[in-house]
Amino acid sequence: MADLRVTLLGTELKNPVIPASGTFGFGREFAELYDISMLGAVATKGLTLEPRAGNPTPRIAESRGVILNAVGLQNPGVRHFIEEDLAWLREKTKVIANVAGKDVEEYGKICALLDGKVDFIELNISCPNVKCGGMAFGIRPESIENVTWVAKNALKTTPLIVKLSPNVESIAENARAAERGGADALSLVNTFTGMAIDIERRRPILANNTGGVSGAGIKPIAVRMVLEAAHAVKIPVIGMGGITCAEDAIEFMMAGACAVEVGTQNFTDALACPKIIADLGAWCDAHGVERIRDLIGAARMNG
């Protein structure tokens, strides 16, 4: 059986498969369906300093091959997470705490509260669904560098992953900005800003009007962006966007991702992650790949 272990910033993950932030809660519902300790790591729902109720409904809309969401960072707040969920989750697997602030100072405060308590922090500077900040930090190189620097300085021990927005002009430039700010790793992509209109009512379906587009249909764009980011920086990259099966995960790894996050597919099939892990092993065995880590960045460009 192929060796599925990968190393992320010196920490060994059992395999490269991580449920993506916002699609797995804090793992409790999924733990009723399967043993979540089989996962490489878990990325939590985005955590803010204070609890947030999120946006008004409807906040999810379906479209062919994708969904749109405008959940708006509904979460119980970072302190509640630390007190109620963290110990339970850490017993199971590695924990990536996804962090979202309404301003740069809040990012720093949340990071300081989580420092030393989680395996990694993933800075969500790219959520398109919150009015107060969110993507504002995530689209310009100067602000990406600045918020990364503030978060990094609030952390003494926990490594910092910066999650990039795809709604940008140059993903390579933004990847380099995060690296300059002190990011230890990058993850991408977050959702693409989109809209769906109810033609009978002649109004956007989402109460928020716009939402973040995710799911199978975004995969080719995400793969291209992961490859461009991986080529632009020296730090490791975690890839995501539309992964539905083991072959998709391998595509991201060949593009340069050292691990992958699986998001929307958890809604389509709650057992998506365990299936992908099993199928990754089978794919490697069938292709004579002894160590999955040998696939990282294996894709060679034509011409």
Ligand X SMILES: Cc1cc2nc3c(=O)[nH]c(=O)nc-3n(C[C@H](O)[C@H](O)[C@H](O)COP(=O)(O)O)c2cc1C
Neighbours of 6 (CB within 10 A): 24
HEC assignment per residue over the chain: CCECCEEECCEEECCCEEECCCCCCCCHHHHCCCCHHHCCEEECCCECCCCECCCCCCCEEEECCEEEECCCCCECCHHHHHHHCHHHHHHHCEEEEEECCCCHHHHHHHHHHHCCCCCEEEEECCCCCCCCCCHHHHCCHHHHHHHHHHHHHHCCCCCEEEECCCCCCCHHHHHHHHHHHCCCEEEECCCEEEECEECCCCEECCCCCEEEEECHHHHHHHHHHHHHHHHHCCCCEEEECCCCCHHHHHHHHHHCCCEEEECCHHHHCCCHHHHHHHHHHHHHHHCCCCEHHHHCCCCCCCC
Smallest gap from residue 214 Cβ to ligand X (A): 3
Residue 174 lies near ligand X (rule: CB under 6 A): no
The encoded tokens of residue 189 equal: 């992509």
The alpha carbon of 119 is separated from its chain's Cα centroid by a whole number of angstroms, namely 15
Q: Is residue 214 close enough to count as binding ligand X by CB under 6 A?
A: yes
When asked if residue 242 is in the footprint of ligand X (CB under 6 A), the reply is: yes
Of the listed pieces 31-39, 48-56, 200-208, 263-271, which binds ligand X according to CB under 6 A?
Answer: 263-271
Is 23 a residue that touches ligand X (CB under 6 A)? yes
Residues carrying an active site annotation: 127
Tokens 């926990």 identify what position?
158
Minimal CB distance to ligand X: which residue?
Answer: 22
Applying CB under 6 A, does 165 fall inside the site for ligand X? no
Contact between 241 and ligand X by CB under 6 A: the answer reads yes
CB of 294 to ligand X, least distance (A): 24
Between 23 and 55, name the residue whose CB sits nearer to ligand X.
23
Closer residue to ligand X, CB minimum distance, 2 or 185: 185
Q: Which two tokens stand for residue 85?
A: 């969920």
Residue from 6, 127, 238, 292 binding ligand X (CB under 6 A):
127
CB of 231 to ligand X, least distance (A): 20
Least distance in angstroms from the C-beta of 263 to ligand X: 2
Q: Which residue, 3 or 79, is less far from ligand X as judged by CB? A: 79
Q: Does 215 bind ligand X (CB under 6 A)?
A: yes
CB of 52 to ligand X, least distance (A): 10
Instruction: Using the minimum distance from each CB to ligand X, give the nearer residue, 48 or 93.
Output: 48
Query: Quick one: which of 39, 178, 227, 243 contacts ligand X (CB under 6 A)?
Result: 243
- Which one of 2, 13, 20, 144 is in contact with ligand X (CB under 6 A)? 20
Please give the residue ranges that form the binding site for ligand X (CB under 6 A): 20-23, 45-46, 69, 71, 73, 98, 124, 127, 163, 190-191, 214-215, 218, 240-243, 262-265
